[in-house]
Amino acid sequence: MDLGETSPLDEDELRSLLEDVAHSPPEGARGAQARLAALRALERLDEPPDEEAETVRRLFDDRPDSKLVASDDWHPTGDPWRELDACDTLGKRRRWYCSLAEDGLLKEAQGQRR
């Protein structure tokens, strides 16, 4: 079965679809669940962007592990440590992030920022 070409929804299209479900959900229990999920998703769309999440997403983009980190890539602490670690490769920084997350230390490391 050929589904043709697809492209991701832009934010306006997503918002429109979520509003349709929120205002006219299907009937029954699943419709109530869909309405609640749509309302929650609409609330998240209206929240300010999460800068920390964006830096983590960018850290795990498609750049090769061997490339040096950029000044705006994720780092658990602020200056001057960020400058000291500017010679890290993306692979090292990615492993560092994963290790902190696995050990449950990520929140503590982020709490030391600035």
* Tens-digit pLDDT profile for residues 12-40: 898 999 999 999 998 999 999 999 999 99
Residue 61 domain-assigned (yes or no): yes
Residues in the chain with pLDDT values less than 50: 1, 109, 111-114
pLDDT at 10: 83
Residue 106 domain-assigned (yes or no): yes
21: CB partners within 8 A, 6+ apart? 34, 35, 37, 38
Residue 102 domain-assigned (yes or no): yes
Q: In 3D, which of 89, 110, 92 has the Cα closest to residue 101?
A: 110
| Backbone CA torsion sign across 78, 80, 83, 85 | negative
Say whether both 31 and 55 belong to one domain.
no
Say whether both 19 and 39 belong to one domain.
yes
Residue 4 domain-assigned (yes or no): no
Overall number of domains in the chain: 2
pLDDT at 97: 92
Say whether both 33 and 56 belong to one domain.
no
Q: Residue 39 sits in which domain range?
A: 11-46
Say whether both 60 and 104 belong to one domain.
yes
